[in-house]
Amino acid sequence: MTSFPSLPLPSGCPADLSLWRIDIALDAPFDDSTFPSLSDSERSRARSFHRREDALRFATVRAALREILADVTGLSAADVAIVEGRNRRPALGQASPSAHEPAVDFNVSHSGAHGLIALASGRRVGVDIEQCAIHFDWRTVADIALSPSERAHIEQLERAAQNAAFYEMWVTKEAVLKAHGVGLTEGMQHVSTLGAPREGIAIGDASLQTATLAAPPGYAAALAWSA
């Protein structure tokens, strides 16, 4: 079985959380013999991507996820059952879509040449990594991505620091919403990463804590988990 060393987590993270970074070879071949642990439906999904890089990102991270879950379950990577729960969120085995605190929860994210896989026991977890576009204008998505206070906070920063602040907020929000199990279009602007303390973002009756993750140069990443 391929080994994926667990990454160190920021201080304050629960002991039951684990995190892996998957480095993606975007020039690797992709054919029917590649990634042997993938299911037929996963191969079909990979082939449905228009861009080869997107297919490799999905297939590489999903194959790594299968290896990690195989170590948890004692099954072979190919025999691990990955199902869709609420809002098509992947889950292990026959987990109930309405389960608030699954026995084993996981979440994945990939962007550019890197992916992250987060695993938790007895709590929900969400993770996000984004490649930061140097010339991206954060104002083009501010209305759907930022709360009014977040927008005001970024506008007070020096121009050179604005994009970095935006991406940190973006990945934190994505991680929070993914941990909660709702779609990213269902309220990103209603979740604020500001406040004291930042940890303890509430969505409905759920309280989630967050941490900024060390990421490769040119990337931003964050982790969220249910308290």
Residues 91-141: tens digit of each pLDDT: 988 544 444 556 899 999 999 999 999 999 999 999 999 999 988 999 999
> What's the chain's average pLDDT?
87
Options 3.40.50.2000, 3.30.365.10, 1.10.3720.10, 3.90.470.20; which CATH number does 18-226 get? 3.90.470.20
Are 161 and 141 contacting, i.e. CB atoms less than 8 angstroms apart?
no
Higher-pLDDT residue of 201 and 47 is 47
What sign results for the dihedral spanned by CA atoms 8, 10, 21, 58? positive
Q: Chain-centre distance of CA 141, in angstroms?
A: 20
Output the pTM of the full model. 0.89
User: pLDDT category, 12, cuts 50, 70, 90?
Assistant: confident
Q: What is the DSSP string of 11-24?
A: TT--TT-EEEEEE-
Taking CA atoms, 105 is separated from 8, 112, 123, 172, in Å, by 19, 24, 7, 18
Which one, of 70, 150, 133, lies nearest residue 81 by Cα? 70
DSSP 172: H
Least confident of 48-57, 138-147, 173-182: 173-182
| Residue boundaries of the structural domains of the chain | 18-226
CA angle 141, 147, 150 (to 5 degrees): 90
